[in-house]
Amino acid sequence: MKIYPSMLSANFCCLGEELRELNDADGIHWDVMDGHFVDKITFGADIIAAHREITSLPFDVHLMIDNPEKHIRTFAEAGADIITVHVESTNHIHKVLQDIKSFGKKSCIAINPGTSTDFLKYIDQDLLDSVLIMTVNPGQKGQRFLMSQIAKITKVQSLFIGDIGVDGGVSDETISNCEGISYAIAGSYIFDNDDYSEAIENLKLRNRLKSVFNP
């Protein structure tokens, strides 16, 4: 299982320094918010581009924005390796996935807690690399993990053969409930820890132990 620290929980005064402390991560997760799809406004493409040279880790750019189809090129050119879009944010999710792939990037669809997985039946899976299950309501850091979303992991597995991730409220306690995932986005748990590498390893260890004792 891979761990992607969410920069939403990092110290905004020193994002570059924070990135340099995340060498043991498998990638970096950037939450882009527009004040419309979610209430907050956070990182833009210029911020992401400015930090691209600091690390070679993959950048997963999570577009919590309305009409993401207008901005795919911008974030692809800013240095995104993975572009995550919400199925709820556009009327043309299939076209958005085509656009992401046209720039040679990996594509991911995020699913809000209240959204059904049924739409996956109608997605051309050649266009989709991963599915991200939101285990909190998007837009705010530090929320409690929604146990109601655990059942979605199995549902997504039945409809999709690629990578499956979870995002929100991930800790060394909640990660043990997420059997079958390929990756997890973790924010507060990592950045509230004095040792980021230790926190990342703890998450992986707890997930592995769950798999060993519950084959």
Active-site residue among 34, 167, 172, 192?
A: 167
Active site residue 31: yes
- Which residues of the chain have a pLDDT value below 70? 209-215
pLDDT of residue 113: 96
Q: What is the DSSP letter of 106?
A: E
What is the structure's pLDDT at 213?
43
Name the active-site residue from 24, 31, 60, 126: 31
In this predicted structure, what is the pLDDT of residue 215?
Answer: 45
The token pair that represents 87 in the structure block: 């199925």
- What is residue 211's predicted lDDT score, i.e. its pLDDT? 52
Q: Is 167 one of the annotated active-site residues of the chain?
A: yes
Q: For 114-160, where are the alpha helices, taking DSSP H only?
A: 150-159
